[in-house]
Chains A and B, each alone.
Chain A
Amino acid sequence: MEILTSRERFNLLVFDEVPDRILVFPLITNHSAYISNYSIKDYYTKGEILAQAQINAYEVYQTDFLSVFSEVGIIAEALGSYFEYPEEDLPKLKKPLFSNLKDYCERKLDWEYNEGKGRFYLYFDAIKILYKTLGDILPILAYVPAPFTTLALLFEQTEILKEVSFPNREKRKILKELLSLITNFTIQFIKSIINYGALPIIVDPLASGSVISPKTYKNFAFPYEEKLINYLHRYDLDVILHICGNTQIYLKELNESTADLLSLDKINLISAKRFLGDKFRLIGNFDTTEILLLSPEEIRKKVRNLVLKMKDNKKGYILATGCEVPFSTPKENLFAFIEEGKRWGKYKF
């Protein structure tokens, strides 16, 4: 038995203290359904299944966080985009709420928040169970899509990406108004999550450098991420911002974020440490393809290298995968990742 629970370890990290070891956090989401033999559809439509899958994953892997996440459409769906639910795949955007900005301007919308909208129940039911079962020893992270990602899922994606990339003055105004409405709605969702005992983690995958330019990020993603972060800071919570994909091209913009922990994906984390490490606790960023495909031995070697180079990050470091652990990742690979992370991530305590 380790001397600290994951909660105690995380608390020390956010107090700027050095815990017994780094926290280890492969982003296990629907992979927990895989090892539990649950259908993916049950996982993303039934809170009790999502919770049980996470509990099972914890029992198998002994990671330091629990994750409540299905896919990034949760808010867009609550706002009216239509998703279909395949049996063995994640929800798919079937019909976005709007076809284009003109369509948005012509229609009146119901932006009123309530907890019964869309699949919000999935999160709340899962958080309640997880909090009651393991909330004393493990932090529960609930993934909240940031406004830009939700915006992209309210429209035909190619349409909206065109609009945000080359907006004229009028369209910029409309986009900003829309993003503000999404932000307010998202804040209400965050408020509920907080009330059930989970720590919201802001995810903005469609604001990735693989999808948009630094300029678009600065104009349409960053300011709204910041509004969510500010809201969470009112509670004095430590805010995690996760951006998947390539963020190398807007490191400068990221450095202006007021988040406390940055979870990064496709980036040279070791060199990013020099630039971001004095300000942020860094989380990342083992390649998710590698965790799926490499042998356990290769994984061990790479984890060791990453941990030894990152564990001295000034504001602290959490070993994680760059993004979600792929659904059918072999258990042995995750065991190798976690064991090695814990072994090399020890501090003098």
Chain B
Amino acid sequence: MRVDFSTWNELFQNIPERIIKRYKYYKRKEDWARYLSPPQTFAIYGMRHLMSLKFDSSLECLRLWGFVFNETERLFRAKQINKKIIAVMGDLGGIPPIIYSFKSLIGFYPDCLWWQPFFSENYNLFEITAKASFPETSCYSRVVYATFLKKAYFPKPDLIIASTGASCDDYSCVMQKINNLFYKNTQFIWLEIPPRKEKREGAIKLLKENYQKVAKILSEIAEEKLTMEKLILGIKRVNLIRRNYQKLKELVGRSEIAPLGSLEMLLLEFGNLHFYSDIFEWQKILLGILNLVKKRIKNNEGVLNKENKKIVWATPPADPLYLIYLEDNGARIVGSEYIINQALQIIPIEKYKNPFFALAESYLSASLIGKTKERAELIIKEIKKYQAKGVIISQIFGASHCAYETEILKEEIEEKARVPVLIIDIPHPSSEIPLQTKTRINAFIENL
């Protein structure tokens, strides 16, 4: 069942204390490591958007929401218990398997904080970036700069990794500005990402060297030697998560009635990036939801109407409200291309003796390092696989990198997959979707 904010408050009353206290992160016993809280808790601490969203009513998904929203506190706690914090920017997928092969390291993506203004319905982070001369016409991911400045969203990282080369132009500016901020006190390294069109061997070699360089630095920070066995074990753990996510996505996409809502699916997909800073707990949360979905399919249970029309969503909507609106108005998301294809691939460790090569190869499937037509192919594959009737591409108002390819994607998809494509702009944070956009979404769904 999908329920609104207030209903979750009622449901929460029935959860026994022992269950609330059962779920803890970093395998800790202390009370501060709890995370099973209802949306109300996070709303009280400022996440105002939660009041407008709808949620899956299962305990498994409450666990998911609690875990995701607890991440800021979790990162501070990690530092307090002497873990080393590694901020990874721009690469979206290749580095975390290495980070999580070390016992004392925690990796996270500051990039994901672009959701913050939307969940809090607040402009403060944008005001700060404006003061730092970021133009309005750049991606919302610019707020990440403000989060570094504020030091209130994550502890001071022990290492910051940024990417250059075949990386997003908008985010590249953000990373450069952050680099200037931390120049003196924090170790900051840049990695070059090769474009896919480069000779495959050359690209793999460059990436492999990058990863080895990162592993060496991480080893120094963690004061722990990274053996090949440890790295392989780390990669296997990541592969298990990716495999389970793939299974989940297939089950959800192919089932007759949607067994899970698209917002939960989006959170789960993004979990492949850095496991919300606790890979072991994330593994369990994902598995719990996979089992829930299997059970629902077996019992022919779903969270949306059977008649809801199948669509594929491309580019993550910065504002989660759009996904809820879509589902409330007769559609369901069966496929997605949220620009993190590299984080969804199984890392082929069986194929290579040296696991760094395997990491490099898997990274070459990244969404944004190739031609736009290749990204269109990814979307078309999803359409065919799940028999979607249309595609929605969300654009970030003012963004350049992914936004400029939207028209090309639309042409390609309409021509090759013969399904209609709707392009919508996601405006600045607000508690409501603009009326005009609502009308366009409604008309689009009606015509599918």
Contact = CB atoms under 8 A, between A and B. Distances in A.
Contacts of B122: 5, 136-137
Given A15-B76, A16-B76, A236 B6 contact: no
B44 A12 contact: no
Nearest to A194: B40
B13 A191 contact: yes
A251 interface: no
Nearest to B35: A236
Contacts of B5: 195
A61 interface: no
A236 B72 contact: no
A237 B44 contact: yes
B124 A197 contact: no
Given A11-B72, A135-B48, A235 B38 contact: yes
A349 interface: yes
A235 B121 contact: no
Interface string A215-248: 0000000000000000000111100000000000
A136 B41 contact: no
Contact of A3 (B34, B73, B76, B150): B150
Interface in B109-139: 120-122, 124, 127-128, 131
Nearest to B131: A1
B45 A7 contact: yes
Contacts of A236: 34-35, 37, 41
B77 interface: yes
Contacts of B13: 191
Interface in B1-50: 5-6, 9, 12-13, 17, 20, 32, 34-35, 37-38, 40-41, 43-46, 48
B9 A131 contact: no
Contacts of A182: none
Contact of A11 (B32, B45, B128): B45
Main secondary structure of the interface of A (DSSP, over half): loop
Contacts of B17: 234
A131 B150 contact: no
Contacts of B131: 1
B189 interface: no
Contacts of B76: 12, 15-17
A17 B152 CA distance: 9
Contacts of B298: none
B20 A234 contact: yes
Nearest to B66: A236
A1 B80 CA distance: 29
Nearest to B9: A195
Contacts of A199: 44
Interface string A193-206: 01101110000000
Interface in A1-44: 1, 3-5, 7-9, 11-12, 15-17, 19
A136 B150 contact: no
Contacts of A5: 122, 124
Contacts of A194: 9, 40, 44
Given A195-B9, A234-B17, A236-B34, A16 B41 contact: no
Contacts of A132: 48, 431
Contact of A198 (B32, B44, B128): B44
Contacts of A1: 127, 131
B51 interface: yes
Given A15-B73, A191-B13, A349 B151 contact: yes
Contact of A136 (B6, B9, B46, B80): B46
Nearest to A11: B45
Contacts of A3: 128, 149-150
Interface string A119-161: 0000000000001100111010000000000000000000000
B44 A11 contact: no
A262 to B, nearest CB: 18
Contacts of A135: 46, 48
A197 B121 CA distance: 14
Residue in A137, A197, A349 with the greatest tally of chain B CB atoms within 10 Å: A197
A197 B51 contact: yes
A12 B45 CA distance: 11
A116 to B, nearest CB: 16
A8 B37 contact: no
Nearest to B17: A234
B124 A137 contact: yes
B41 A235 contact: yes
Interface in B142-184: 149-152, 155
Contact of B48 (A8, A16, A131): A131
Given A8-B150, A11-B72, A235-B37, A195 B48 contact: no
Contacts of B73: 11, 15
Contacts of A19: 152
Interface in A156-205: 191, 194-195, 197-199
B124 A136 contact: yes
Contacts of A9: 152
Nearest 6 interchain pairs by C-beta: A136-B122, A8-B152, A15-B76, A236-B37, A7-B46, A235-B41
12 contacts: A3-B149, A3-B150, A4-B152, A5-B122, A5-B124, A136-B46, A137-B124, A194-B9, A194-B40, A194-B44, A234-B20, A235-B12
Given A11-B72, A195-B5, A197-B43, 7 more contacts: A1-B127, A136-B46, A137-B124, A194-B9, A194-B40, A234-B17, A237-B44
Interface of B: 5-6, 9, 12-13, 17, 20, 32, 34-35, 37-38, 40-41, 43-46, 48, 51, 72-73, 76-77, 80, 120-122, 124, 127-128, 131, 149-152, 155, 431
Interface of A: 1, 3-5, 7-9, 11-12, 15-17, 19, 131-132, 135-137, 139, 191, 194-195, 197-199, 234-237, 349
